Amino acid sequence: MDLSIFVGPLVGGLLVGVASALMLLGLGRIAGISGIFAGALWPAGGSDDDRRIDLSFLAGLLAGGLVLLWAMPSAFPTEWPRSLPMMAAAGFLVGFGTRLGCGCTSGHGVCGVSRLAPRSIVATVTFVATGMITVTLVRVLGGAA
């Protein structure tokens, strides 16, 4: 078995873990993307520094994607697997779910589970189970194998 296929995910996981730990230890903030995104768009009583941190974090995510696109364009699809309306609906449902669940997989799954937060463990199990059910239904109803 070629173990090199594990290098990318391993390095990516380590980077996510280190970045999350640095944000928590350095700034006392959870690296939850949905909360950071909401704070950047609709600051709710936070300081200007909080908003700058949110915007900087989002700029870093975008910059990382652009660097990857430049360095390895083959990592990105040339054709979309679904129609634009289907993908827009999926994005809306994901956004709705993150608000309903008071966070996303980065906040609950990466940061909350690592802190053994019961609410985050329940949320992460719910995210994964819902994702599995959704994929199964889409494949069965959509005719994909």
pTM of the model: 0.72
Residue 1 pLDDT > 80: no
pLDDT at 143: 62
User: What is the spatial distance between Cα 145 and Cα 139, in angstroms, rounded to a whole number?
Assistant: 6
Nearest to 111 by CA among 30, 25, 22: 30
For residue 145, pLDDT over 70 is answered with no
Give the contacts of 39 (CB within 8 A, at least 6 positions apart).
Answer: 46, 50, 51, 54
Give the C-alpha separation, 121 to 125, whole Å.
6
Q: What is the pLDDT of residues 18-74, one digit of tens each?
A: 988 898 899 888 888 888 888 888 877 767 788 888 899 899 989 998 998 999 888
pLDDT at 114 over 60: yes
- For the chain, the domains span 1-76, 80-145
Burial class (CB in 10 A: 0-12, 13-18, 19+), 120: buried
